């Protein structure tokens, strides 16, 4: 059974890495919020398109991470490296496909989804540069899978710090045109993000070459592309790929619906989303830790301790999030002023901040138990639970945002419903289903 200290030792570096990565989005929102509402709204639409595609790679890496953690728990170290190497080559191929399809089809897709010509044109200016990041982001997530899987998460903090630092400096330089560079606006934000991802990958390659025992972890075994190994990884990760994609695609639908409410409403939603993502960092860190520790525990023969692990992490998650929510609820305007200096925009966003704060309290528990299900290897079941929950999510969006055209804060109410349903579904599954005997 893991202690709170052991849980924090694994989750704290993941938290710092997620924080550093989130700084990229926060930086873009804060800078572009001072450029204009159109740029602010367009960056949210472009970023969500990018993330929707990226989640496919992230889902594959999560499945790889589960397998790596299981092998690590079994002390079958020599089979860790092949999963990492083969997965990297597979995702590079996926990156080529994603880039090509986005290059040709993104304009048509975004034209269907965005009603404003200004926001559409600005979104495409952003995406035309941003999609080059696929080649580096897809590799980055396999390094993440490796280090989380073998519970060496500290390096992710350094990697993410490198990426965040590069992004902040370049975004400031290119968006506003400082230090002799031209003022590029939203295109500068996209270019800065891509270069930041390149810097992270280069750091991880060098670090891995210097510090990892290639022989111990089987990195010297690569001879050819192993289709059978990829199929084995996909038997786990295909469900997480679909799960993450559907979850993010539904989130994208949310912003499409809000965009039709108006340019101001989209700007409000983007600012609130940025705060929401920051608040989710500790939850995501502890959820990822749950995934890894559950898989490691099962690999080491500790199936009986799985529910206790989830319960302990869920309590820790709730306490941390409660303290963050208290701060946000007391000082909402001060926090919103980080993203925009427009008083009217800040006033309109306050109620939405209160709504997502309530959602976060539920998410702090629901995400831990839900990720615990994936950690057992039952990713198909996790996908089914996600689909059931997202059906209600989508119905709410169309009813409230599209049909009734309700205020943004009412639209954000779906986040509370989503996490409540996810928590209930996860509890029922863990109590009733036979998840203990899953083999990887």
**Which tens digits make up the pLDDT trace of 305-357?**
889 999 999 999 999 999 999 999 999 999 999 877 888 889 999 999 999 99
Compute the distance between CA of residue 378 and CA of residue 368 in angstroms, rounded to an integer: 15
Q: Return the structure tokens found at 250.
A: 């539904």
Cβ contact 28:188 at 8 Å: no
- 41 part of a folded domain: yes
- 89 part of a folded domain: yes
Answer positive or negative: Cα dihedral of 223, 295, 277, 235: positive
| pTM of the predicted structure, to 2 decimals | 0.80
Q: What is the mean pLDDT of the chain?
A: 87
Please choose, from the candidates 174, 206, 201, the residue with its C-alpha nearest in 3D space to the C-alpha of residue 187.
Answer: 174
Per-state percent for the chain, helix, strand, coil, to nearest 5: 85, 0, 15
Compute the distance between CA of residue 163 and CA of residue 167 in angstroms, rounded to an integer: 6
- 439 part of a folded domain: no
Which pLDDT tens digit goes with each residue over 81-139?
888 999 999 999 999 999 999 999 999 988 887 888 888 999 999 999 999 999 999 99
Neighbours of 403 (CB within 10 A): 10
Counting Cβ atoms within 10 Å, is residue 321 exposed (0-12), middle (13-18) or buried (19+)?
buried
- 152 part of a folded domain: yes
Compute the distance between CA of residue 418 and CA of residue 363 in angstroms, rounded to an integer: 9
Confidence tier at 270 by pLDDT (50, 70, 90): confident
Q: Residue 173 belongs to what domain range?
A: 4-432
Mean of the pLDDT values across residues 194-221?
Answer: 90
- 427 part of a folded domain: yes
Burial 346-368 (b: 16+ CB within 10 A, else e): bebbebbbebbbbbbbbbbbbbb
- 246 part of a folded domain: yes
Most confident among 22-26, 99-103, 269-273, 375-379 (mean pLDDT): 99-103
Q: Got the DSSP string for 139-182?
A: HHHHHHHHHHHTT--HHHHHHHHHHHHHHHHHHHHHHHT-TT--
Compute the distance between CA of residue 173 and CA of residue 181 in angstroms, rounded to an integer: 7
Q: Return the structure tokens found at 431.
A: 């109590």
Quote the pLDDT of residue 437: 64
- 283 part of a folded domain: yes
Counting Cβ atoms within 10 Å, is residue 223 exposed (0-12), middle (13-18) or buried (19+)?
exposed
Neighbours of 104 (CB within 10 A): 9
The count of domains in the chain is 1
- 103 part of a folded domain: yes
């Amino acid at each position: 059974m893991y202690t709170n200290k052991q849980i924090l030792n694994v989750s704290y570096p993941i938290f710092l890495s997620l924080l550093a990565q989130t700084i990229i989005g926060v930086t873009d929102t804060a800078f572009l919020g001072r450029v204009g509402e159109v740029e602010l709204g367009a960056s949210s639409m472009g970023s969500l398109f990018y993330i929707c595609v990226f989640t496919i790679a992230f889902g594959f890496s999560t499945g790889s991470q589960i397998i790596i953690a299981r092998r690590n728990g079994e002390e079958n170290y020599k089979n860790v490296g092949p999963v990492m190497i083969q997965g990297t080559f597979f995702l590079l191929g996926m990156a080529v496909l994603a880039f090509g399809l986005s290059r040709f089809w993104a304009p048509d897709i975004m034209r269907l989804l965005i009603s404003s010509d200004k926001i559409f044109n600005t979104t495409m200016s952003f995406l035309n540069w941003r999609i080059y990041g696929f080649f580096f982001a897809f590799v980055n997530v396999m390094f993440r899978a490796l280090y989380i899987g073998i519970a060496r998460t500290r390096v992710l903090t350094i990697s993410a710090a490198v990426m965040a630092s590069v992004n902040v400096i370049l975004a400031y330089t290119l968006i506003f045109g400082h230090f002799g560079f031209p003022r590029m606006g939203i295109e500068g934000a996209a270019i800065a993000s891509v270069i930041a991802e390149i810097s992270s990958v280069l750091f991880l390659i060098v670090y891995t070459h210097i510090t990892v025992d290639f022989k111990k972890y089987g990195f010297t075994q690569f001879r050819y592309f192993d289709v059978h190994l990829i199929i084995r990884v996909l038997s786990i990760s295909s469900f997480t790929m679909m799960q993450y994609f559907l979850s993010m695609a539904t989130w994208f639908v949310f912003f499409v619906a809000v965009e039709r409410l108006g340019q101001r409403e989209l700007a409000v939603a983007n600012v609130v989303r940025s705060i929401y993502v920051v608040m989710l960092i500790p939850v995501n860190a502890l959820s990822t830790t749950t995934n890894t520790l559950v898989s490691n525990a099962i690999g080491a023969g500790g199936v009986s301790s799985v529910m206790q692990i989830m319960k302990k992490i869920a309590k820790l998650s709730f306490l941390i999030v409660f303290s963050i929510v208290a701060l946000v609820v007391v000082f909402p305007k001060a926090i919103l002023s980080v993203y925009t200096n427009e008083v009217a925009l800040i006033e309109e966003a306050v109620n939405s901040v209160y709504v997502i704060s309530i959602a976060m309290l539920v998410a702090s528990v629901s995400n831990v138990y839900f990720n615990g299900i994936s950690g057992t290897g039952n990713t198909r079941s996790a996908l089914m639970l996600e689909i059931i929950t997202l059906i209600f999510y989508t119905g709410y969006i169309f009813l409230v945002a599209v049909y009734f055209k309700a205020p943004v804060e009412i639209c954000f109410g779906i986040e509370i419903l989503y996490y409540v349903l996810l928590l209930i579904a996860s509890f029922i599954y863990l109590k009733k289903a036979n998840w203990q005997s899953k083999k990887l």
